[in-house]
């Protein structure tokens, strides 16, 4: 007797079960893969902020002062004003933000030199090379191929209306306007007197470990600006009110890479980071990377309380007891408003923002 051999394949049910098993395994593997990729991006972003914060600390050590959020054109500091008045007038109107003074420290002396080789017709270099240390890998490019900037510095409420005479608050934030009033003969409103500060000024206040230095500002809400964007004279809305920080979030040449406190304090239950115009933000899930004035970097959750954010931005907030009560005293009324939203007095803990 001969036995017939039957070649039996998968039944439809068996095939569907196999597909379901593969799909289940993929659904379990994909989140882990995505989390690993995001972890790598966040580590790269942390390294970027560590490099930038160390550059600021090095600059402070060399010159005993931090750059401003607006600075005199490098060519003017090199003596062009006296040798070429026409060029000096053109350079007066182009005041770069904080990335340019850091270029020699970041080993990009070539970029810094390009700011010295300019003309009245072209006061700002046209070359805008890509710098990976200025871009967070988690935040997408905004369509341009060069000169992206995903980070901003702590300006406190420096761009929000202060009382007359308009002045900058040295202990409200860290980075100030190092240019100040426009020079004689240049059209534009009178803003602040020039001012800068250094890290030594923080030791008598909240300390460098409790004061934000630089943070991400690169989410989809705020379009990234070029690192070589120049900062024009601030225009006034009304008779004595400079534009608020919230207005400086565009990709135009007037973009200012600064974060801080705006006059409208959000509700206590609202997410502070990623939600408020002028505040730090990112595309990292749950928070963003920041660097403190002592050089340490942390991942800060985006749900910190308003009074915690206020203390991290101000560099010299103080609780003053008066009789049976007390109040927070800061250099600006805006800072006092943020500080007064929480328990008083309040001592910061890393658990407040980690």
pLDDT, mean over the chain: 77
User: Alpha-carbon distance 231 to 237, whole Å?
Assistant: 17
A 10 A CB-CB count for 76 gives 18
100, 158, 154, 155: which is closest to 131 by C-alpha? 100
Q: What is the DSSP letter of 319?
A: E
| E strands, the chain, in order | 95-96, 148-149, 151-154, 212-216, 225-226, 230-231, 258-259, 287-292, 297-301, 318-322, 325-329
pLDDT tens digits for range 12-58: 777 788 888 888 877 776 666 656 788 888 999 999 999 999 999 99
User: Alpha-carbon distance 263 to 250, whole Å?
Assistant: 20
pTM for the full predicted model:
0.81
User: Alpha-carbon distance 156 to 254, whole Å?
Assistant: 19
Helix or strand (DSSP H, E) at 41: helix 12-63
253: pLDDT strictly greater than 60? no
User: Alpha-carbon distance 124 to 87, whole Å?
Assistant: 11
Helix or strand (DSSP H, E) at 337: helix 333-339
pLDDT value of residue 18: 82
68: pLDDT strictly greater than 80? yes
136, 52, 145: which is closest to 101 by C-alpha? 52
User: Alpha-carbon distance 241 to 62, whole Å?
Assistant: 35
CB 131 within 8 A of CB 227: yes
């Amino acid at each position: 007797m001969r036995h017939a051999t039957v070649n039996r394949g998968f039944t439809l049910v068996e095939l569907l079960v196999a597909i379901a098993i593969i799909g289940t395994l993929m659904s379990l593997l994909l989140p882990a893969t995505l989390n690993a990729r995001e972890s790598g991006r966040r580590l790269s972003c942390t390294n970027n902020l560590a490099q930038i914060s160390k550059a600021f600390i090095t600059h402070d050590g060399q010159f005993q002062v931090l750059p401003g959020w607006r600075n005199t054109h490098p060519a003017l500091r090199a003596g062009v004003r006296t040798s070429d008045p026409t060029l000096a007038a053109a350079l007066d109107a182009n005041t770069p933000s904080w990335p340019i003074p850091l270029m020699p420290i970041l080993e990009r002396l070539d970029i810094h030199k390009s700011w010295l080789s300019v003309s009245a017709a072209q006061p700002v270099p046209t070359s805008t090379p890509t710098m990976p240390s200025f871009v967070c890998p988690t935040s997408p490019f905004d369509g341009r191929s060069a000169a992206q900037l995903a980070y901003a510095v702590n300006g406190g409420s420096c761009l929000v209306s202060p009382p007359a005479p308009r002045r900058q608050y040295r202990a409200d934030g860290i980075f100030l306007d190092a240019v100040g009033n426009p020079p004689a003969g240049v059209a534009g409103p009178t803003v602040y007197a020039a001012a800068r500060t250094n890290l030594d000024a923080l030791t008598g206040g909240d300390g460098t470990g409790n004061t934000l230095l630089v943070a991400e500002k690169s989410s989809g809400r705020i379009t990234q600006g070029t690192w070589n964007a120049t900062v024009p004279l601030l225009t006034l809305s009304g008779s004595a009110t400079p534009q608020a920080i919230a207005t400086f979030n565009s990709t135009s040449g007037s973009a200012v890479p600064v974060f801080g406190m705006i006059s409208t304090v959000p509700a206590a239950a609202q997410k502070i980071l990623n939600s408020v115009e002028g505040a730090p933000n990112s595309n990292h899930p749950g928070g963003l990377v920041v660097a403190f004035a002592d050089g340490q970097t942390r991942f800060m959750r985006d749900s910190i309380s308003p009074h915690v954010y206020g203390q991290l931005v101000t560099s010299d907030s103080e609780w003053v007891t008066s009789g049976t009560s007390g109040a927070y005293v800061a250099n600006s009324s805006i800072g006092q408003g943020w500080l007064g939203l929480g328990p008083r007095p309040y001592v910061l803990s890393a658990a407040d923002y980690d």
